[in-house]
Structure 1
């Protein structure tokens, strides 16, 4: 039933959308992009307000804004990630690189309003995991800034090879 609703139930609409898209942009021009890159090209790259993002983030399982791992996380985002990498992180965690017009306070999940969330979960040797329906990042309790930065960057840059829920 789910497969029918997602694939076959909207196939006529999807085909019409694709046909219209291909009338505007030749398929050979978009063939070089994967789905993530194509979304960034189409949606554009808005400048992310890191302060707004941080202000509208929830923490779980022992993390809080003053926790060392969270301090390292925001330091990596603010000082080491460029805007494109921030957008890819947002896409990794939420499934989209678009920021709501109203800012991060208006972020939505699969079932309505849902803030960006960071939960302490995993081993310090694990990569971060994303739950896109819930805008949640499972961030292991890393033991150093460099370890967090390397693991986060690897997860974000290579997310097409890792399982995203």
Structure 2
């Protein structure tokens, strides 16, 4: 482990001299390298950084349901959502301003299906849910049961 730590330190030093890191606290360094622990968003931030596409619009009921559900999430659930759509449970350094998700309709799914994601591309696919409660139930189950298995392979069209 010592050799690995020394290699990491040498690599960081190549990009940013270790002496310049002394002026930062541990929490500041952690935030710079790992992202933000506190996940703050409001409706406007979600509308600015979640982009409906592929036939969804900001006026689509499924998209509106998603925004409403995300606004109600506590910190732990927000972290699960971020992990589900991005494979990282934190906001990137810079917070919501540096985060984006493309939200697509899942055209091959019934409204009883589960949301799915392509976390490597920050993409979320939503079936055509009939209500906010239906979307919330399916999203919660998908977030809690995926445990790293939520990636979808790119389909050949």
The reply to whether residue 117 of structure 1 matches residue 107 of structure 2 is no
Normalising by the residue count of structure 2, what TM-score does the alignment of the two structures yield? 0.67
Equivalence map 1:85-104=2 (5 Å): 85-104=77-96
The reply to whether residue 132 of structure 1 matches residue 140 of structure 2 is no
Rounded Cα–Cα distance in structure 2 between residues aligned with 1:85 and 1:60: 24
For structure 1, which runs of at least 5 residues remain unmatched after alignment?
1-11, 21-41, 108-114
Rounded Cα–Cα distance in structure 2 between residues aligned with 1:161 and 1:96: 10
Moved >4 Å (runs of 4+): none
The reply to whether residue 68 of structure 1 matches residue 61 of structure 2 is yes
SS in 1 for 2:51: strand
SS in 1 for 2:111: coil
Q: Is the 8 A contact 1:52 1:103 kept in 2?
A: no
Rounded Cα–Cα distance in structure 1 between residues aligned with 2:36 and 2:49: 22
The reply to whether residue 52 of structure 1 matches residue 45 of structure 2 is yes
Q: CA shift at 1:106, angstroms?
A: 1.9
SS in 2 for 1:48: coil
For structure 2, which runs of at least 5 residues remain unmatched after alignment?
9-33, 153-157
Instruction: Say which one has the larger Rg.
Output: 2
The reply to whether residue 16 of structure 1 matches residue 4 of structure 2 is yes
After superposition, give the CA deviation of every residue in 1:14-41 in whole Å (9 maximum; x if it has no partner): x835xx9xxxxxxxxxxxxxxxxxxxxx
Q: CA RMSD in A?
A: 2.6
Normalising by the residue count of structure 1, what TM-score does the alignment of the two structures yield? 0.64
Residue aligning to 1:4: none
In the alignment of these two chains, the number of paired residues is 122
SS in 1 for 2:85: helix
Q: Is the 8 A contact 1:128 1:140 kept in 2?
A: yes
